[in-house]
Amino acid sequence: MAPIVLSLALVLSGLVGIAAQSQATGFDLKAWNVVGDANWTVMGDEVQAEKGSGFLVTPMAYGDFQMTVDIWVSDEANSGVFIRCSDPKTITATNAYEVNVYDKRPDPAYRTGGIVNVAKPLAMVNAGGKWNTLEITAKGPKMTVVLNGITTVRDAEDAKFARGPIALQYGAGVVKFRNVRIRAL
């Protein structure tokens, strides 16, 4: 199956199991389900929030997949990618897997690169103030996270959530996303 490029131009028209590939030139918020009150603003091929709290949620559910997304966060930002969300209208770290991007998390155990309550990061990678590439692979109960080429979680195993939408999070600071690619496995 060809990679699905939701490249924050994320035009999901013709989406049949998200097997379509999009090469649009701008981010389309209409292609996402917006949850919460974050002030998402489209700027060409990226989307940004800096106020409120909330998520951009895929309309499709995913089980086994590989995902790549570029994320820029300010130093104080709280963000991340929630995968296999069991309730796409109320997203939390207890009903989905939260791949964290939060350098200054008060409890650093599940800081940037970790999966909250599942896997602590193997390496300390700071994301603040620059573009970062986050890669997530979920296959069965195993999950791997790579941030800027550094494996932060390797084959973490948890079977609570097998399938669900993917959500891009805005929690605090300034957060930008671009080049979202999801490929079903």
| pLDDT tens-digit map of 140-174 | 999 999 999 999 999 999 999 999 999 999 999 99
185 domain residue, yes or no:
no
Domain with 76, as residue range(s), is 32-177
CATH number reported for the structural domain that contains residue 118 in this entry = 2.60.120.560
pLDDT attached to residue 179: 95
61 domain residue, yes or no:
yes
Whether the predicted model's global pTM rises above the 0.85 cut: yes
Structure tokens at 8: 């924050």
Average pLDDT value for residue range 95-124:
97
Structure tokens at 149: 């080429």
pLDDT attached to residue 17: 32
86 versus 9: which is more confidently predicted?
86
Phi and psi angles of residue 2, each rounded to the nearest 5 degrees, phi first = -65, 150
Q: How far, in Å, are 42, 95, 117 from residue 114 at the CA level?
A: 28, 16, 9
69 domain residue, yes or no:
yes
162 domain residue, yes or no:
yes
Q: What is the mean pLDDT of the chain?
A: 88
| pLDDT tens-digit map of 50-89 | 999 999 999 999 999 999 999 999 999 999 999 999 999 9
Beta-sheet strands, E only, within 14-149: 33-36, 41-43, 46-49, 54-57, 65-73, 78-83, 97-101, 131-139, 142-147
18 domain residue, yes or no:
no
104 domain residue, yes or no:
yes
Domains of the chain: total:
1
pLDDT above 90 coverage of the chain, percent: 83
107 domain residue, yes or no:
yes
Average pLDDT value for residue range 18-37:
67
119 domain residue, yes or no:
yes
